[in-house]
Structure 1
Amino acid sequence: MKDQIKQRWSGMEMQKTQFLSNLEGWSEEELHWAPEGEWNAIQIADHIMTSEYGTLGYLMKKTQAPASDIPVAGSDSAEGSSGLNEALKSDKQWKAPPVLPDPKDEMNFNEMAGKWSHIRGKMRSFLDELNEDYYDKQIFRHPFAGRMNLEQTLGFLEHHIEHHVHQLNRLKERM
């Protein structure tokens, strides 16, 4: 794995650790509480995991094609990725893309953390085995930001978690 990809992976892992650390002191009741019409902490985690799992599936499908058949990510990809990441760094509330299902509220903390580790294990295996010829190719399409290369995709996933840490903090303040 190239250094830039390792760096993004480390950022994703750090964000996941921060997210889970924020929740460790919450009771099961707090994990499943939310104001009417909003997501609770378990639903936020489920949304993140669904996003990561869906992204992994997209990457796996896209990289079945020869790398030579996939366009290189250019300035449009960089602009879309940068704009998306800036939006996700803020604590402004955004609607989830309509391609994602409503998050579920069916797990306890340990089940959620275990499921997330399982998804991350699959993603790490994929990244370890991915031929570097795909790294600069448009191998992911975000519903709002458009096509991205691998580093941009991992950057999105990293900032996606950061965004939802803001959401957790707002939720905790309202308890």
Structure 2
Amino acid sequence: MRNQKLKQLEDIRIQLFKELDNLSKEKLNASLDGDWSINQILYHTWVAESSSIKYIQTKTKYPEYLVNVSPIAYLKPKILELLLAFGLKFKAPKIVSQFPEKIDLQKLDEQWKNSRKSFDQLIVELKEKKLDKKAILRHPLLGRINLTLALDFFDFHFKHHQKAINRLKK
């Protein structure tokens, strides 16, 4: 990975998948109190990331329509983190909360690895075209965000769900 932030994210993901490799299929698919299972959390996190990457790829095909990021866009993630720290929950959009009946951990690992490679290449292209500072992604809660904010969100989102996975692993 050429992008350092994405490399850190990938290293954390690889480590988590190594830890999960020892768990039974029952444990990976078990949910507590109607919440998502480990596999569902992972699938949700991957879909959120991969669909965002596809959105960015589509959006940046038309650079003349990209706008600058609002200064308030840098404040919104901090507010979101604070709200989540106080226990407020947000309902995930339907597109990232629908799961296949069966989720194969190895297949998901491979899909995620490929998504990250694709995203790494996209980051290079965005920087070459000087689009990385533009509002390339519209997030349901954060609004229009640039590449840095998108990477920060992916990091926060993954770590947020990693806490839930760690609780379910016990």
TM-score tier (shorter): 0.7 to 0.9
Instruction: Give the conservation status (yes or no) of the 8 Å contact 2:67–2:134.
Output: yes
Instruction: Give the conservation status (yes or no) of the 8 Å contact 1:136–1:150.
Output: yes
Partner of 2:56: 59
Q: Per-residue CA shift, 1:127-151, capped at 9, x if unaligned? A: 2222351111111111011111100
- Aligned-pair distance for 1:107? 2.5
Aligned partner letter, 1:124: D
Aligned residues: 168
Partner of 1:110: 106
Aligned partner letter, 1:56: I
- What secondary structure is seen at the aligned counterpart in 2 of 1:147? strand
Instruction: Give the conservation status (yes or no) of the 8 Å contact 1:59–1:139.
Output: yes
Partner of 1:168: 165
Q: Judging changes above 3 Å, is the alpha-carbon distance between structure 1 residues 111 and 125 closer, same or farther for their aligned structure 2 residues? A: same
- What secondary structure is seen at the aligned counterpart in 2 of 1:39? coil
CA distance in 1, matches of 2:81, 2:113: 23
Aligned partner letter, 2:155: E
Q: Which has the higher contact order (CA 8 A, sep 6+)?
A: 1
Partner of 1:14: 11
- Aligned-pair distance for 1:123? 1.4
Matched, 1:126 2:152: no
Matched, 1:50 2:58: no
- Aligned-pair distance for 1:157? 0.6
User: What is the RMSD computed on CA atoms of the aligned residues?
Assistant: 2.4
Match for 2:143 among 138, 142, 146?
Answer: 146
CA distance in 2, matches of 1:122, 1:33: 31
CA distance in 1, matches of 2:121, 2:41: 25
- Aligned-pair distance for 1:125? 2.1
Q: Which runs of 5 or more residues in structure 1 are unaligned?
A: none
Q: Judging changes above 3 Å, is the alpha-carbon distance between structure 1 residues 124 and 85 closer, same or farther for their aligned structure 2 residues? A: farther
- What secondary structure is seen at the aligned counterpart in 2 of 1:71? coil
Q: Which runs of 5 or more residues in structure 2 are unaligned?
A: none
- Aligned-pair distance for 1:52? 0.9
Aligned partner letter, 2:96: L
Q: Per-residue CA shift, 1:19-62, capped at 9, x if unaligned? A: 32331221122111112522111111110111011100110111
CA distance in 2, matches of 1:117, 1:87: 31
- Aligned-pair distance for 1:11? 3.0
Matched, 1:32 2:29: yes
